[in-house]
Amino acid sequence: MLEAHHLGKSYRLGDVEVAALADVSLAFPRGSITTVVGRSGCGKTTLLRILAGLEQPSRGELRRMDGGPSQTGVVFQEARLMPWLDTLGNVAFGLRRRVPAGIAEERSRAALETVGLSAFTDAMPSQLSGGMAQRVAIARALVTEPDLLLLDEPFAALDAFTRRAMQNELIAIWQKKHPTIVFVTHDVEEAVLLGQRVLELEGGRVVGHEPIDLPFPRDPTAAAVNDHRRRILANLTAPARDHDSRVASPAIDKEPSS
Ligand SMILES: Nc1ncnc2c1ncn2[C@@H]1O[C@H](COP(=O)(O)OP(=O)(O)O)[C@@H](O)[C@H]1O
Ligand SMILES: [Mg+2]
């Protein structure tokens, strides 16, 4: 449904051009779950923002095949709730302009039920724990019935127990509706637990693809999960590749400084 062709993104910082993403070509088949893993600064958020249409690539293009996604939901690392609206209000916010209020409320209640927050529709964001707030953010993305769900380290700030529960919840949601999911994380174990394939990103480039053919939900202690984890870690910590030059070139030609 979505294909990236030679995507590149550069930012200019003073005189230098920083290549946040370089020559990324990928297909995201309809209904698949792709996880993207890599260390901080490797370009994960940049890739996700381009897929979301929040950012334009500097090079290459995003092609929407057979109609492409009709509805995209995005979940960021922080819940980004509106503090003056209660849980139901936050989830319904984006819907209110598009459907009648009664339907917006009904769908919002259903989305909150999906993430296990039916009892908290009246709670204000300040009354929610981090995990609950992140569930609200997921409900807010789900309420639009996205066929493309993009998640940027959504569970990174959660404690290990809550994170595990949320991972299982995400898989349950996917098993119900099969949206195309792209899930970004810096946690290799999480990438293996959630992805049908794991893309390894380094210096703005895809340096590995790891297909993971294991049934959901996956057991983090299973030997097969650990094998994948080890292989990905080994690849990501391998000695620097010759194409791995993050700071591409000075934007303005200058005398070499030495
Ligand atoms: N708006 C921006 N302006 C300048 N540089 C940016 C901007 N956004 C990201 N970058 C740079 O691009 C690189 C990739 O960033 P990002 O995609 O946020 O990585 P990640 O999400 O993997 O941590 C980093 O070096 C970052 O500093
Ligand atoms: Mg990021």
**Where in the chain are the domains?**
2-70+147-250, 80-146
| Per-residue pLDDT, 1 | 83
Q: What is the pLDDT of residues 165-192, one digit of tens each?
A: 899 999 999 999 999 999 999 999 999 9
47 Cα to the center of ligand 1, angstroms: 10
pTM for this one?
0.90
9 lines ligand 1 (CB under 6 A): no
CATH architecture of 2-70+147-250: 3-Layer(aba) Sandwich (3.40)
Q: What is the pLDDT of residues 74-98, one digit of tens each?
A: 999 899 999 999 999 999 998 988 8
42 lines ligand 1 (CB under 6 A): yes
Q: What is the pLDDT of residues 185-223, one digit of tens each?
A: 999 999 999 999 999 999 999 999 999 999 999 999 999
43 Cα to the center of ligand 1, angstroms: 6
172 lines ligand 1 (CB under 6 A): no
40 lines ligand 1 (CB under 6 A): yes
Query: Hey, which residues does 181 pair with through a beta bridge?
Result: 33, 149
Ligand closest to 247 (CA) is 1
74 Cα to the center of ligand 2, angstroms: 13
161 Cα to the center of ligand 2, angstroms: 22
